[in-house]
Amino acid sequence: MYQILVAFQSALERADETNTISLVSMLRCMWKVLPTIRESRYAGVLFWLAVSLLQASHLGFYVEAACLLRASLENLEKQGIFKDMSVPQALLICRQPLEGVASELDEMLRISFERNFTFSLSAIIFKGMRHSGLRPSAEAALKTLLRVTTVAEMENEDISSADRNIMSPDILGYFLALIPVTTTTESYHQLLEECECNIPDGIDDPSDLERQVPRLDLDTLGISDPDTALLVTSFVGTILTSAQGDDAETQMLYDLLASIAVAFPQVVAIT
């Protein structure tokens, strides 16, 4: 793995946007090799390499970078680094050796992993959800992040899914980013189950014949304070800028904004 990284660095220094075949091949090699290494000391670095490539928004790198993100995250999970601390905390520790360069890239894109990890990472990955060829990779990356974060929380907090009625803020961004592929009642309930979150009673009224899409519930999503409401409103607004405007996804997200407007009118007023 060290040799691959050295070769990748050398190839990256010589690369241009018209010839990325060697870089893509090396990325593919990394994520295919990583699962065979039980405890790779490079897994944390590889995770942030994948994030930086996704931040760069080069379509040629997206699929391989998303696969590398998943492979490195799963390797770190096997190493047990998410025990006794949250996934964002552990990953930010892995980022410390790269802080200088990573912070410059964050500043250019006006995001902050320190202030809100899940929404920053979700925004970076979400760009792939609007490209048919990239959507499966984006969905898989978001679901891996959601699963690993949920499992770590359940183990660290020693709680069962039967006791979990409110979604964790550490997975809320991933959950919202998956709404474009979660527009039926069945798929929405499945996603809640993957979050180990109980399906609230009465959320889908069978007598409401005009309603064809699931209803996003503020209590279940844990939107109970103005700061969370502001983050969600801003993120949902970004998602809607690239939505079709007449589909189930749009209806679900506008319904969510309407609910936030009722509960937190001052937040919607400033966004």
pLDDT in tens, 16-33: 777 788 888 999 999 999
The torsion angles phi and psi of 19, rounded to 5 degrees, stand at -140, 90
Report the Cα–Cα distance between both ends of the chain, in Å, rounded: 46
Supply the pLDDT for residue 207.
47
Q: How many CB atoms lie within 10 A of CB 243?
A: 17
The string of DSSP letters for 197-260 reads -PPPTTSS-TT-TT--S----HHHHT--SHHHHHHHHHHHHHHHTTS-SSSHHHHHHHHHHHHH
Weakly modelled stretches of the chain, pLDDT under 50: 206-207, 209
Strand residue runs (E) in 10-111: none
Instruction: Give the model's pLDDT for residue 103.
Output: 75
Q: Tell me, what's the pLDDT at 12?
A: 82
Domain segments of the chain as ranges? 1-117, 159-271
In this predicted structure, what is the pLDDT of residue 160?
Answer: 57
Residue 52 burial by Cβ neighbours in a 10 Å radius (0-12, 13-18, 19+): middle
Is the pTM higher than 0.85? The answer reads yes
Contact 76, 47 (CB under 8 A): yes
Other beta carbons within 10 Å of 18: 6
